[in-house]
Amino acid sequence: MALTPKQSGKLIADLAKHVKIQKEGIIKLGNVLVEEINSGRLTVNNFSQNEFHPKPEDPWALDWLFVVDTLNFCFWHPENREGWVVNGKSGYFALCNAINRALKEKVDILNPRFYSTITEEQLSKIFRSDTKAKIPLLSERLKSLHEAGMCLLEKFDGSFENCVKQANNSAVDLLRIITDNFKCYRDECMYKDNKVSFYKRAQILVGDIWACFRNNGIGHFKDIDEITMFADYRVPQSLLYFDVLKYSDELMQVLKEQTILENGSDMEAEIRGCSIHAVTLLNEYVKELIDKDKIVNSILIDHFLWDFRRKHNKEIVQKKLPFHKTFCIYY
């Protein structure tokens, strides 16, 4: 049985050779977060994803979130190549635009009876780009949709809502239901003889439900603080920027050479695991300092760091803070 993401983050941070968490960085970024939260600038209502995501009153909101997060991985492209773009947006927002465009075109993309048997040609049309570039890992996305759709039909009467209800407002239980039943969400590896987990997409699915429903009704989770940050390839850049993380010279050289890291390799696991533990430490630091009527958790901090990387990309590039490159379905 794998350690939880929170346990995995601590273990990896304790043993890591190539990535270190710096206390002074925790304090520096922590103070920024305290100001952002106390001022009201950092709240669930201000997430950049909100304009692309469904509203809580949309009857298909849960189905949309499940389909999008089942497909939410690997959008980066080599710097010398054209990227995948939909309606002027790249990356995750391009995915949202593609699914929303399909819905406007009356494609039954939120129905597991449809997407469990969708063809590569149909999926390719849904993901058609403004550019000549194709979405990365199309065949893996097709496989993920087939697996997820079949599982919903066989185990949950064709409804993701049944998964959420089965969790009884527990984020931890919903995370377990997702990772136990949907293979494409089982983001695990071996690190120094320990089976660790990151569960980036499974946790972001729980976090998206929490954010969409503003922690009310079916989106209320009594243990939401157990969800960690979503270990991807962009948030660590923001943690580097604020000196929360420090990479070894060897790792920096590997990244600057544009080396593709193997999913599950020590360097990749250390970046992801230390990111998780760093945000857990930030969460604990900020909790002690924010106004009592304010909310903080790892989801809010993750969104701040993800948005920060997008808004300050030029500065991050100028500082030569690279992101690690991995081709996989987990982030």
C-beta of residue 44 within 8 angstroms of C-beta of residue 211: yes
User: Residue 330 in contact with residue 200, Cβ under 8 Å?
Assistant: yes
Among residues 275, 243, 256, the alpha carbon closest in space to that of 320 is found at: 256
Q: How far apart are CA 112 and CA 152, in angstroms?
A: 7
Find, among 315, 300, 297, the residue nearest to 241 by Cα: 315
Residues in the chain: 331
DSSP assignment of 112-174: HHHHTS--HHHHHHHT--SSSPPPTTHHHHHHHHHHHHHHHHHHSTT-HHHHHHHTTT-HHHH
Q: Are 60 and 54 in contact (CB under 8 A)?
A: yes
Selected catalytic residue, list 208, 232, 266, 302: 232
Alpha-carbon distances, residue 243 vs 78, 150, 235, 236, 282 (angstroms): 26, 44, 13, 10, 13
Whether 232 is catalytic: yes
What is the Cα–Cα distance from 238 to 235, expressed in whole angstroms? Answer: 5
Residues noted as catalytic: 232
